Structure 1
Amino acid sequence: LAVLLVVDGPLGVGIFQINRVKGVDETVGRERVFEEWNSFSRIVGFRITNEEIEGWGLSGDPNRPTIAEQIILLIDGDAATPIALFDGDAANARYLLNDVTNLVYHLRQDADVLVIGPGGGRDVLAALASGQANVDGVELNPLMVDAVNQFDHLSGGIYGLPNVNITIDEGRNFIARADRNWDIIQSSLVDTWAATSAGAFVLSESNLYTVEAFQDYVSHLSEDGIFTMSRWFHGDRPTETLRMTAVALTALERMGIEDAPNHIAVVIKPESLIATLLVKRTPFTAEESERLVQLTQEFGFTALQIPNRVAEPPLRDLVYNANRANFWENYPSDVSPTTDDKPYFFYTLRLDNLDDWRYEQGVSNMNNQGVFVLYSLLGIVTALALLTIILPLWWKRRQALTQTPGGALYLLYFTGLGLGFLMVEIPLVQRFSLFLGHPIYALAVILFAVLLFSGVGSYLSGRLAHAHPERTATWVIPVLLLLLTVYAYGLTPVLRSLLHLELPARIGLSVLLIAPLGLLMGMPMPLGISVLDRTRPALIPWMWGVNGATSVVASVLAMVVSLNIGLRGTLLVGMAIYAVAWLAMLGIRVAVNRTPISERSLELATGD
């Protein structure tokens, strides 16, 4: 089966062809002309004909052309982007400047532009149509670039133009490592709707939408540059727009800008449910504010925030609030600014009102359904762990547990190791995601390093333990806790300082940073098994099962904890669990030392 899948992928033999994705038949009424997979996505292209050209936030422009042919690229069955139609004359694409997402191009001319997530090339074409000098694009998915280049009879080879440069990289990572500035940085609806049918998108970290990310964007603007981002706007509860604005305000204030409201503007196209945020490194001038008012009137947009001109609710209640924390606390959804430590931009539910996902609108509603799935999964795996391992152990081996030196402390110890290991590993994987440039790299590298060096640590523990594994365990875990404390508070600045290195060097450094942690994390489990082997070996299979079952629970629990208190908080919870396991081992050590050797020998002989 694996061979067939490999053949089907790169060679395009088509043995396995997927038509139904996320409950929808993709082929109904559409001609599929492109399909490619990579390690993190599936891109499908469909040909559409004789339709009005598509634009998410276009105003009612009578000159919008009707197309003879266009290719729509579908990412993972949901997110869609058209391949830009370019005939070699950018002036023929000036209709794109009537789009609310491209408002920035009316404020600057002959600029150096960076587009984050250019996708099918629409934003790149808009920049060229507005007369900008040079356009850089940073695209995460190489399949997107392949598709645009493959259909060059439609795209006009836009990605190969002399003044267009496309880099395959993660946008935030690329900007953080850049040693230059741009006049315009644009990010329009990047990664919108990916995985929404499964509701899983809300559960993934989004490093493009954090306070630190916005600081990177603004710091890489020229003196009078503008950063623009577009997200969804739903009138009754514009959660994404409010959170995006909160992130921008917080980022500016952290950069020492005291009059942050004078540096931002927000304009929406209500019919399209799209809001565009404009952030300047310097305050908007009176002329720029007046120009924005004119543009909103000309194109039928609605201004929510324009410095010294417009301040409409609900943005006004956030932007000009002297106590924004109070606004975040009282708003029905969580619109507090996301950070690199808690980078879940699309997770807008409050822990005390999780049922609120039913009342969110549009994309927020679909995304937050994933939270319901997550909490349901946590309940299911916890119940299964109790029913299949913990309760049977207590029912059938209760007497053996109580008669063993240390007794139920073994249950506490191995439960702690099962929970603690994953509560540490999962936030570490997420922490390295930005450093390595993609979650796929972080998962592969960090998981590999943790498992490899944990195995080495397990092997070394046998040599360190000698005849007293309980003594070794009681000093190994404190050393592990000390190292975890250093990682919890010192890892982020170290990774940040090394971000300029090339990917192979960053991978190598990641492995080196994880190695000592992996060594120590691999020791407590075999040390505990060695102690049991000397006291009550019949309990070893049960404790192994307890450890495995609680590890499964921890894989879900870590995500729940991380969503609500952040990556560092999750790491600290993992440390607290390891500390409980250490206390349990201290109790076991005392009990073992108090038990006469003759009594331990009898227990070994009977096995019970």
Structure 2
Amino acid sequence: MRVCQRSGLFSGVAALACATVLLEIALTRIHGALFGQPHAFVTLALSLVGAGLGGALLYVAPSLVRPPALFARMAALSALASGATLAAIILVAQRGPASVSAPGSLPWLALVYAACTVPFALSGLALAAAIRHAAAEMPRLYLLDLVGGSLGGLAAAAALRAGAPRAALAAAIFFAVAGVFFFLGSRREGEQRAPGGLVATFVLGSVVLLAGDVGAPWLRLAGLRRTTPDRTELEAWSERSLITVDRPRAGAAMLRIDGVAASPILDAKATPPPQPEDIAYALHRDQGPTLVVGAGGGRDVRAALKAGQKDVVAVESDGGVVALMRGKYAEFSGRLYDKPEVHLELGDARSFARRTPLLFRNIVIPSPETAEAAATGALALSESRLATVEGLGDFLARLLPEGTLVVSRPEGDLERLLALTAAALRRAGAAEPKDHLFACSAAQRTALLARRTPLAREDIDALRRHCRRHKLAEAFAPDRPQTPTRARLAAAADARAAAPDATSDLTPPTDDRPFFSYAVPPRRLPAVLVDWKALRAEHTGLFALSALLAVASVLFAIAALLPRLAARAGRVLRRGAAAASATDAAAPATDAAAPATDAAAPPRARALAFFAAIGAGFALVELAVFRHALLLLDLPSHELPAALVILLVSAGLGGLLTARVAPSAAAGASARVAEALAAAAALGAVGLVPLARWSLGLASIPRALLAVVLLAAFGLLAGSLVPLGVKLVAAAAPALLPLCWALSALAGAAAMALGALCAMNLGYSALLLGAGLTYLLAAATVPPAAAGAGALGDAERERGWRDERDGAAAGAPPAGEAAGERPDVPEAAPIA
């Protein structure tokens, strides 16, 4: 079978992108289950780090992948990426979990990340080669690259149900399939033949390994965080997480999500033991209706039924949990979710609260996170849309006047929970929020009760009797705040003023900064970051972000220095050649060549700065826009792949729209698009959070349409900048393209860490303002159009391609390429 090179190139690039996104999502799930949620976020940046390493390597050693061995080398790289994927997933799965704070764990974690980066580096090298040698086809190439990535997102949604390790095996198959496409493209006359045996080996090997795991499972995670393997009865992957259930003990089976959240599934005959959140029924007894947010294993639903509630609405956002409760554990739990008194809602709880016309007498928001996860800062990067001033306000609005809202958290979070609930009550019209609050605790958990109307004396007495009867410790009451700090937090409008010397951040989280579990005050952030021991033990989220920022920044700095190092090496080589020459004519020629390099330095620096800026800007805006789009999409367990498809396809279409832009006009178009993105980021900083909150009251279809408009608008604009930049650089210095691609990817990886830190400390609005400044930098550093750009016809482009191919076949590199300079012959696509 023979295919034209254009088809082989496009199909191979699409398959590479599909495999890359699928592997990225699979590794995110695996690392989240084994190492914790912060490592899941860091894993998202691995593909960018790998792409940067691949591009930098191609810039340093362009002979690795160039005609006439272009397709053969791309096929080999794809096959090796498949093998590296298999090796990495087996290494990670068989070795098991690790804790950042454990002695000797850092070398192991570094090895894991290095192994997982190799497939991305190999595929990044192949993609950089495609861009380098097919720059004229960049709009279509970029479209197919992003469409392939969107298909990888859809494949992940389906494959994750079979397990993240199997999804990684599927990614290995797609890498090998990309090698097949490149192999078919190498069968053109004049091209070096690809190693068909190598490609076939990894195609068949990855398929056999996946089929073997389906028939007789062999690839399982060796151990899970905070669980004992001999106690685990069930492991099930959902689109969101790894769900495990322990063997029943004392009438309960513990359901865990990624090892950081736990919720008991009670036997149908068991009586729910008292918990602090049961205080919700101390005032109203059997009067309802009741809303339970985050039903999980159903313990709080059972507690409501035990209290005599006849109308219980349970909201659960994870479809995998619902499937288990209505499947394997339906009989064990007494078909809890199918009882006539229980009405199950699958979806986002805040959206449900905004849309439902019901008013509730009791609303219970339990916190399933474990005490260990809270103490180690493992959830610092996790957003909590419920524990914000606006979120609690939405639930307070769904209460009857005498109704109560109960929120539970780990015991150490009580002060911040007090400040948060007081702020929500104050926004709801309460003059003295402290008169509306009561809290009790037990077993390292605290439940805070809030009522829209003040608690009367008899209400407080009833709550105290409930605490004494169930052996709960009173933690706060209007007349007994327990500590002066709690009294001030419940009464003051400014949490910082109420506790200026607090070691934890007590300011109420908002929708703009929804990180309840992140409690490092901005003034203490530098001290925390330099305290290495405490950072590893108590702030694992910050540790992961710091490590990502440090690694990405160092790699970015090294890559940015490569042109200077290459130019210096080129001058040394030329001087050596001049000294060895016996003729006097060679020396003047060498001296005349040096100014050309110096003269090209400013445009080269602008090109590199432009690509770095658009890479960082895309990552910063994506963090904010993607997050708000996920809030708008009402697709339980499927919002991530849906948003990914919309964003990537729209970005690809934006790149395709640049196909008709002449190189001479690309500079002006790039500047205008970057300025438009800067303006859009500034508007988003002002209006994106209010827009997302307002949309929660809309029906599903209008919200989905709003998400599509938001993602598509950003994608169309941002997606056009890369092809436009490639046009400009390809016309002036095509040998610089791999380095531009590398700096864009590495800047994006560093920006992800900086953006997350910015959002956690200052909010998403500040993040968007930073993104706007980044795009303004991109507009200011657009590389100039080359003289005569756009005047090169198809015949000249093809002749330039043939000249370079013939020169490479003879063993001579294109002029200036070894030193990272512009070749003498312009280059176009090596396709037919």
User: Structure 1-normalised TM-score?
Assistant: 0.83
Change (3 A) 1:192 1:180: farther
What does residue 264 of structure 1 align with?
437
What SS is found at the alignment partner of 2:476? strand
Q: Write the letter of the residue equivalent to 2:651.
A: S
Q: In the alignment, which residue of structure 1 is the partner of 2:281?
A: 105
Taking a change above 3 Å as real, the CA distance of residues 563 and 438 of structure 1, as seen in their structure-2 partners, is farther
1:570 to 760, 767, 776: 767
Deviation at 1:381, TM superposition (A): 1.6
Partner of 2:422 in structure 1?
A: 249
Gaps of 5+ in 2: 1-168, 171-206, 569-593, 792-814, 816-820, 827-832
Which runs of 5 or more structure 1 residues have no equivalent in the other structure? 50-66
Q: State which of 422, 436, 456 in structure 2 corresponds to 1:285.
A: 456
**From 475, 480, 500, the counterpart of 1:304:** 475
Where do residues 112-127 of structure 1 align in structure 2 (5 Å cutoff)?
Answer: 112-127=289-304
> Aligned to 1:326, what secondary structure does the other structure show?
helix
The percent identity for this pair of structures is 28
CA distance in 2, matches of 1:168, 1:151: 18
Alignment-derived partner of residue 247 in structure 2: 47
1:491-506 equivalent positions in 2, closer than 5 A:
491-503=688-700, 506=703
1:476-507 Cα deviation digits (max 9, x unpaired): 22222223333332233333343345545533
- Supply the AA of the counterpart residue of 1:104: A
1:21 maps to amino acid? L
Cα offsets for 1:578-599 (capped at 9, x unmatched): 11111222xx54x97899x9xx
Task: Decide whether aligned partners of structure 1 residues 318 and 196 sit closer, same or farther in structure 2, where only a CA change above 3 A counts.
Answer: closer
Query: Are residue 230 (structure 1) and residue 408 (structure 2) matched?
Result: yes
Structure with the higher strand share, 1 or 2: 1
The alpha-carbon distance between structure 1 residues 324 and 335, as it changes in their structure 2 partners (threshold 3 A), is closer
Distance 1:537 1:8, change over 3 A: closer
Inter-partner Cα distance in structure 1 for 2:238 and 2:482: 45
Give, in angstroms, the shift of residue 518 of structure 1.
Answer: 1.3
- The alpha carbon displacement at 1:37 in A equals 1.1
Change (3 A) 1:152 1:419: closer
Could you tell me how far 1:551 is from its partner in structure 2? 1.9
Counterpart AA for 2:625: L
Equivalent position to 1:394, from 564, 580, 591: 564
Matching residue within 695, 707, 717 for 1:520: 717
Contact 2:380/2:515 (<8 A) preserved: yes
**Partner residue of 1:543?**
740
How far apart, in 2, do the equivalents of 1:78 and 1:594 lie? 60
Matched, 1:489 2:666: no
Do residues 529 (structure 1) and 726 (structure 2) align?
yes
Q: Does residue 38 of the first structure (1) align with residue 238 of the second (2)?
A: yes
Cα deviation digits, residues 259-286 of structure 1 (max 9, x gap): 21111112223xx111110010111112
**1:356 Cα deviation from its structure 2 partner:** 4.4
Using CA pairs below 8 Å that are at least 6 residues apart, which structure has the higher relative contact order?
2
Distance 1:553 1:4, change over 3 A: farther
Structure 2 counterparts to residues 374-393 of structure 1, below 5 A: 374-387=545-558, 389-393=559-563
**C-alpha displacement at 1:566, in angstroms?**
1.3
Q: Secondary structure at the residue paired with 1:115?
A: strand
Give a deviation string over 1:512-532, Cα, whole Å, max 9, x none: 222222111122222222222
Alpha-carbon displacement from aligned partner over 1:97-148 (angstroms, at most 9, x marks no partner)? x422211211113211010112121111111111122111011223323333
User: Residue 46 of structure 1: CA displacement?
Assistant: 2.2
Aligned-partner Cα distance in 2 for 1:210–1:12? 46
| Contact kept in structure 2, 1:537 and 1:607, CA below 8 Å | no
Checking the alignment, whether the CA contact within 8 Å between 2:684 and 2:768 is kept in structure 1 is: no
> How do 1:5-404 and structure 2 match up within 5 A?
14-22=217-225, 26-28=228-230, 30=231, 32-49=232-249, 67=250, 69-87=251-269, 93=271, 96=273, 98-109=274-285, 110-149=287-326, 150-192=328-370, 200-233=378-411, 238=412, 240-269=413-442, 272-321=443-492, 323-354=494-525, 356=528, 368-387=539-558, 389-397=559-567, 402-404=598-600
Give the deviation of 1:13 after TM superposition: 5.9
CA distances 1:134-187 after superposition (whole Å, capped 9, x unpaired): 111011223323333333443222221111111222222322222221110001
- Report the CA distance shift for 1:605/1:216 in structure 2 as closer, same or farther (over 3 A): closer
Letter in 2 for 1:471: G
CA deviation after TM superposition for structure 1 residue 224, in Å: 0.9
Classify 1:322/1:507 alpha carbon distance in 2 versus 1 (closer, same or farther; 3 Å): closer
Is the contact made by 2:409 and 2:445 (CA closer than 8 Å) also made in structure 1?
Answer: yes
Q: Which has the larger radius of gyration?
A: 2
One-letter code aligned to 2:672: W
On the 8 A contact 2:319/2:636 being kept in 1, the answer is no
* Matched residue type, 1:165: H
Question: How far, CA to CA, are the matches of 1:198 and 1:207 in structure 2?
Answer: 21
Closer/same/farther in 2, CA of residues 100 and 382 from structure 1, 3 Å limit: same
Q: Which letter does structure 1 place at the counterpart of 2:727?
A: S
2:620·2:755 contact (CA, 8 Å) conserved in 1?
A: yes
SS of 2:239's equivalent in the other structure is coil
Q: Give, in whole Å, the separation in 1 of the partners of 2:538 and 2:394.
A: 27
CA contact (8 A) 2:317 2:636 kept: no
- Relative to 1, partners in 2 of residues 1:366 and 1:346: Cα closer, same or farther, differing over 3 Å? farther
Answer whether contact 2:347 2:636 (CA < 8 A) is retained: no
State the AA in 1 paired with 2:259: G
Rounded Cα–Cα distance in structure 2 between residues aligned with 1:434 and 1:153:
34
> Which moved further from structure 2: 507-516 or 422-431?
507-516
Task: Quote the Cα distance in structure 1 between the aligned partners of 2:556 and 2:220.
Answer: 37
Q: Which residue of 2 is the match for residue 59 of structure 1?
A: none
TM-score scaled to structure 2, two decimals?
0.62
What root-mean-square deviation, in Å, do the aligned CA atoms of Structure 1 and Structure 2 show?
Answer: 3.4
Deviations 1:438-462 (A, max 9, x none): 7964542333223222222222223
Query: In the TM superposition, what is the alpha-carbon distance from 1:429 to its structure 2 partner?
Result: 1.4
| d(CA) in 2 for partners of 1:7, 1:250 | 55
Contact conserved, 1:465 with 1:527, CA < 8 A, in 2?
no
Task: Report the Cα distance in structure 1 between the residues aligned to 2:382 and 2:465, rounded to whole angstroms.
Answer: 39
Deviates more, 1:246-255 or 1:546-555: 546-555
Residues 99 and 450 (structure 1), Cα distance of their counterparts in 2 relative to 1, 3 Å cut: closer
